[in-house]
Amino acid sequence: MNFKNLINISKLTILSLVTIVLVSCHDRTSRNNTSLTGWTSKDKKMGGFSGPTKYKGQEAPPGMVLIEGGSFTMGHVQDDVLFDWNTTPNKQQVRSFYMDETEVTNSEYLFYLDWMEQVFPPSDPNYEHIYQSAVPDTLVWRDVLGFNELLTENYLRHPGYADYPVIGVSWIQANQYCKWRTDRVNEKILMDKGVLQPLFKLEDAEVKGKNNFSTDTYLTNPDLVFDGNQAIYKKGLPENKPRAKGDPKPARGEFTGRHVKISDGILSAKFRLPTEVEWEYAAKAIVEDREYNNTRGRKKYAWSGKYTRNKSKRYKGDQLANFKQGKGDYSGVPGWSNDGADITIAVKSYDPNAFGLYDMSGNVAEWVSDVYRPIIDNDANDFNYFRGNIFTKKMIDAEGQVVIADDVTVEFDTLDNGNLVPKTLPGSVKYMPISKRDAYMRKNYDKAYNVDAKDGELASTKYYAQDEEELDVKPRMYNSPIKPKEIGESGLMKQQYDTEKRTTLISDKARVYKGGSWKDREYWLDPSQRRYLPEYMATNFIGFRCAADRIGPMTYKRRKPTTTKIRY
């Protein structure tokens, strides 16, 4: 074969490849414009069905950063001074998620309190306990042999502590804040899109008691939000259906278009407390120790290295976190190498970790969503592990309608410490546990309550063979205190103490908190360490931050082929 023929063959080959690519692109475009049935969703004459949304990708929620998922070893065996194997190593896969850069601060939490006070004024008998249920316990600063009244009176509300992490918040209060934040973020999104009126510019009579926007309620039935006040809606998204011939044009100011749906990809994912696995993965940030598809060594703290002092030339010797350095030493000697705080400190006072998260070691410990168990069993799920699932469904009334909590009959739960918390805020969808019928012939779950699954349920106790009715109480794995609850005539719980001898405080209400605090020694700065406290209790060293799910791919970064130079 001569050189001229070779060139002609090459030209034909290139032309063939170009043709294949063009045909492929045409086919791909056709698939995007039509469905598998041949009907097109873009043609209004074909029924005006909603077509595929041009989704540009999920934006990071306000104040959050993306934590790209991956695998890591949860827990460790080093520095197990208690010899309780509470942090047994366990390989885990974590999905991508978003997490707050910092703990929720006093200023952010005060905005939450102000909103609750305006929308659910305590002067209204229907709402009198709602606002109080959200207020942190400022008395956590008190000590019988300490003088801390200044902090008791000023820490939450004084501007000098505005950027400090909020404390005195129980797990239940932190969880309620996350739900409230979901609704406020989505409410703001709908206002920016022009779907909702600027709510607080309306007359007070239209706002107070009715500005209880709920994302779930809006997605279920937009007519049920704002107590049915349709004047709050401004303009919807454009519809794909033509106006029928003879139909009158909508009046000026009337809501036109359609409401936002999940399929539009506009609304934010729900905010929540991070799971224990997510929190530890985000704190360790092993991404900075990555070498190809492996990691070098094991991280002891949120930063790289095995010491708490800075190694850089400029800041050499400075502490990398705020923690208790020894008995009677919460900050260090005045001046050089002082960590700058005797209690908590303003967020972002120290450098972030490799994920861009601040104070994952030190400042305050943080609530996570998991129910505590002392040992992670070997049969634990290795994909997004979480203990605490209670599967629910929307409550349906006799008429087949979704039940919405109204303003008049607000129901409250009485906690073990006597505090009252609303079961559901007015305007929100009511939920109930799933039934056995809902889980019939399912392989992945068979009941609603899964907190004690494979640990503490009937099958894992010594009473397994006995009939439950023969026992005075339901068998439990952990002999935690049982608070007797007797509700008095006023509706308040009578304060009583459990008189039985108990050997543990672990129960289904014990929640995990992670990370060291200003009050802890260096040992607890390790992200692998874990402790617990009842979900209704609060301290002066536990705060929280929120997380949100990543929807779609783990990351939008395009993977590019890499070339490696090989030396011979």
444 burial (CB, 10 Å; 0-12 / 13-18 / 19+) is: exposed
C-beta separation of 182 from 271 below 8 A: yes
Neighbours of 228 (CB within 10 A): 9
- The four Cα atoms 451, 455, 459, 464 give a dihedral, to 10 degrees, of -110
Q: Which residues contact 323 (CB under 8 A, 6 or more apart)?
A: 308, 339, 361, 362, 516, 517, 518, 520, 521, 522, 524, 525
Six token digits for residue 473: 């109480």
Chain CA centroid to CA 528, Å? 20
Q: How far apart are CA 48 and CA 46, in angstroms?
A: 6
542: which strand partners? Answer: 365
Residue 24: predicted pLDDT:
47
Residue-level pLDDT at 378: 56
CA distance 255 to 197: 11
The pLDDT of residue 34: 58
Residue tagged 């993306």 (tokens): 66
Per-residue pLDDT of the chain (568 residues; tens, 9 = 90+): 555 555 555 555 665 555 554 544 444 444 445 567 777 766 666 666 666 667 778 889 999 999 999 988 888 866 677 677 788 888 889 999 999 999 999 999 999 999 999 889 899 888 889 999 999 999 999 999 999 999 999 999 999 999 999 999 999 999 999 999 999 999 999 999 989 888 766 655 455 556 688 999 999 999 888 877 777 888 888 876 766 677 777 777 678 888 999 988 999 999 999 999 999 999 999 887 776 776 666 788 888 888 888 887 787 778 888 999 889 888 888 876 678 889 999 999 999 999 999 999 999 999 999 999 887 655 667 888 899 999 999 999 999 999 999 888 788 888 888 888 999 998 899 999 999 999 999 998 999 998 888 775 555 565 555 555 555 556 667 777 777 777 666 566 677 777 777 777 888 899 999 999 999 999 899 999 999 999 999 999 999 999 999 998 887 666 555 555 545 4
CA distance 453 to 270: 25
Could you tell me how many residues make up the chain? 568
Residue 441 CA to chain centroid, in angstroms?
A: 31
Helices (H) and strands (E) in the chain, counts: 8, 16
The pair of three-digit structure tokens given for residue 483, joined into one six-digit string = 């608070």
Q: What are the angstrom distances between the C-alpha of 176 and each of 160, 333, 424, 545?
A: 26, 40, 10, 12
- Angle of helix 106-119 relative to helix 171-192, nearest 10 degrees, comes to 70
The token pair at 32 is: 């995007």
pLDDT at res. 23: 47
Phi-psi region for residue 10, left (φ > 0), alpha (ψ -120 to 50) or beta?
alpha
